Chain A
Amino acid sequence: MQLLERKGVLTKTNIIWWAKINNPNNNGGLIMKKTRSKNLPILLLLTVCILSFSPTTPAFAKQKVVGVANQWLGNDWNFIADKAIVNYFESKGYKVISTNAQGATNQQKADVENFIQMKVDGIIIKGGEGGAFVDVSKKAWDANIPLIGQQMFLPGAVCTVMSDSWEGNVNMGVWMVNQMHGEGKYIILDAAGWHSLVVRRDSGELVLKNFPKIKRIADVYEVDTADAINNSYDIVKATLRSHPDLKGVLCTWGQPAVGAIKAIKDMKKEKQVVVVCTDADRPVLAEMAKPDAPRTALLGLVPKDQGEYAAEVLEKAMQFKTVQEAKAALPTLYLVPSHLITNTGTSKSFKQKVLMELDDSWEFFHKGKKRPW
């Protein structure tokens, strides 16, 4: 130590750490500087705020409780569907706990686990990465709590409520082929993980792949849900710079279409590039309606119907004594119809879908021939 002192290296800091290193229990004689507290009033105020915060809790045993685990409430579809569920149940005297995982699947899963722990009367998992809930759906089943999967298939669910992304997006593909005249480049804007988005992408491409001159550029672009519009704007603009002959943008959900439309207009390609998307969110419809908007087609899911269907089937399921009975009695899959919307004139763009009874179908297809029944 004397040697170090002569070298001018041995500062007070070094002495402290020399002592501490050689004897971990020695605090090295740290010098404290005390100042007066100004924090006590703030502390008291905060304590009062926390203690006075007392949301009402209903008599748990008397009122039925439903848990709704949302992955995200950041767009119209999610928000409206959630509101529909909450309104449905609250109008019937149920208590609804609606959680929002802010996009975190782990948190959404934790919410479902918490519901199971609370022994709620029913659970709806609304949107998200379905595979993550396979084990908790089984836990709910084992706990005899009816669970509805919305936009996801789960082994432990009594019923699944899905929007008809299959047929709807095949129609989107048909429209896109017509607008592109059977040739040209397109890109896909997607978001990671949701099963229903994968269905939309695959259904649309099912039609496009039949046309060898229609080619997808690059892999699927993942759009960040936290900043979808800006993210998709940047992607489309960059793509148009590198591929000025781009003719189509297929979006698997609504917000990327807003950014895509803005980018197409900025690059003055409104007459060249068409846009397809799903979700009749207000910003998307607003963009489509502008006179300088590119040709756009949209698959309008009906989140209010979806939410109400999910609530209705859950309420029915809760009437049964066991989940097994509920599953046997109720449909396994509720498909909510979707609506086809475009700014290019629907009568020319989309085939009308007609549902028929058996008797009417004979009359329609084989008029004049004797019916065998």
Chain B
Amino acid sequence: MGQKADNWNKFIANYGLLLAFLLAIIVFSLWSENFLRWGNVQNILIQTTSLGVCAFGLTLIMMMGEIDLSYAGLTGMIGAVMLKMIMAGYSPVSVVFVCLAIGMASGLCIAILVVGLRMSSFMVTLAAWFIYMGLERYIGHGVTHWIYKYDENILKIVQGHAGPLPVPIIIMLGLFLLCWLFQTRTRTGQYILALGENIEAVKEVGLKANLLKGGTFVAGGLIFGLTGLIETLRIGGSMVYSGRFLLIYALGAVFLGSAAFKAGKYNFPGTLLGALFFYTIINGLTLNMVKFYYIPLVQGLFLILAVAITTVKRGEIEQVQF
């Protein structure tokens, strides 16, 4: 009996957020006949793409015990660069390549400052955010430029389909699988997790912690570069400061995800769930004609509910003692 109760508690602790999410889906689907239609599910997945991709990059970095806020500025800057290149007639392939390279370069610069010069990742990436915002305005002159005026073909990256699935969904789910398998099935993925738990132990066992950290920042930067690409294509132009709306939501998705599956640990399935959670609530409430000002209220209540379920059933507070 005691064993069964412990298993049940563990189940709820690890899957409480998922249960809350499923509860929301059930409620919305009973409330609106349109909610579970494939078209609407596609809508939710497409709308979640930028946030999901960004949150995966952030999860990777936060797993190793650091943080990276540069995506809030990098997204917009990449948009400005993209439009400059498109307006100058560069091919979609070179545009994509350059944007991803910028993301990686950003990650590398941050890695040098954080790992090499031992600066705080919070302060460095906060500064990077401001720098990128300024560069974005410098490049784009503070004006939004629209892609459709220059090259409609590149928009097909996010507006097209590959088989039955829209391309953004494939990108997001593909990246999710890649990150999840990397983190759970490879040694390097486990080492990154270990970095976040105890970097000294990692060093003591002979691993090159600094190299691992640096590489993770670069990988995170690459993913943020992809975020900038997707966000710009989805909006259809280089909207000034487009990344700032991702800032809180990406952090929220990662923290929310840490309450799921592996309670207390950052994980990719949890992050995906966290990202989907935000847009599912918006979509469900809009479909049911709820006034817009209830949306953040309900999001907040569900967040508390989800975390509370997890906390209660886990035996409340789980601490690691040494």
Contact = CB atoms under 8 A, between A and B. Distances in A.
Interface in A105-127: 105-107, 109-111, 113-115, 117-119
B268 to A, nearest CB: 15
Given A9-B204, A99-B286, A192-B240, A131 B146 contact: yes
A11 B197 CA distance: 14
B315 A219 contact: no
Contacts of B290: 55
B302 interface: yes
Contact of A97 (B149, B289, B316): B289
Interface stretch (B98-106, B168-176, B292-300): B292-300
A4 B47 CA distance: 51
Contacts of A57: 31-32, 288-289
B121 interface: no
B50 interface: yes
B34 A118 contact: yes
B148 A134 contact: yes
Contacts of A100: 292-293
B317 A33 contact: yes
Interface string B300-322: 01101100110110011111111
Interface stretch (A14-22, A203-211, A273-281, A293-301): A14-22
B202 A135 contact: no
Given A36-B316, A117-B34, A106 B245 contact: yes
Q: Interface SS of chain B: helix, strand, loop or mixed? A: helix
A242 interface: no
B198 A13 contact: yes
Contacts of A9: 204
A46 interface: yes
B4 interface: no
A134 B245 CA distance: 21
B305 A50 contact: yes
Given A14-B201, A50-B302, A104-B245, A117 B292 contact: no
Given A111-B286, A118-B34, A135 B239 contact: no
Contact of A17 (B40, B202, B292): B202
B303 to A, nearest CB: 10
Contact of A34 (B39, B184, B316): B316
B242 to A, nearest CB: 7
Nearest to B145: A131
B5 interface: no
B283 interface: yes
Contacts, number: 186
- Residue of B147, B155, B282 contacting most chain A CB atoms (<10 Å): B282
Contacts of B29: none
B242 A106 contact: yes
A21 B205 contact: yes
A24 B301 CA distance: 35
Interface in A64-109: 65, 95, 97-100, 103-107, 109
Given A100-B293, A114-B286, A131 B144 contact: yes
B240 A193 contact: yes
B interface bracket (residues with beta carbon within 8 Å of A): 35 or more
Given A65-B289, A98-B292, A132 B315 contact: no
A37 interface: yes
Nearest to B185: A24
Contacts of A192: 142-144, 239-241
- Residue of B148, B279, B294, B316 contacting most chain A CB atoms (<10 Å): B316
B301 A35 contact: no
A131 B301 contact: no
A39 interface: yes
B139 to A, nearest CB: 13
B31 A24 contact: no
A358 interface: no
Interface residues of A, number: 66
Given A34-B315, A192-B143, A192-B239, A117 B37 contact: yes
Contacts of A65: 289
B137 interface: yes
Contacts of A11: 322
A220 interface: yes
A222 interface: yes
B205 A193 contact: no
Contacts of A95: 289
A30 B37 CA distance: 44
Interface string B218-262: 000000000000010011110111100100000000000000000
A25 to B, nearest CB: 10
A191 to B, nearest CB: 9
Given A14-B200, A39-B311, A55 B47 contact: no
A246 B56 CA distance: 49
A6 to B, nearest CB: 13
B204 A14 contact: yes
A310 to B, nearest CB: 18
A322 interface: no
A24 B204 contact: no
A49 interface: yes
Interface in B51-98: none
27 contacts: A13-B201, A16-B201, A18-B205, A20-B194, A31-B320, A31-B321, A32-B318, A35-B317, A43-B305, A49-B301, A50-B305, A55-B289, A57-B289, A106-B234, A106-B235, A107-B245, A110-B283, A113-B46, A114-B40, A114-B287, A117-B39, A117-B40, A192-B239, A192-B241, A193-B143, A219-B142, A220-B142
The 10 closest A-B pairs by CB, nearest first: A131-B146, A192-B240, A17-B201, A193-B144, A34-B315, A104-B245, A100-B292, A14-B201, A110-B47, A33-B319
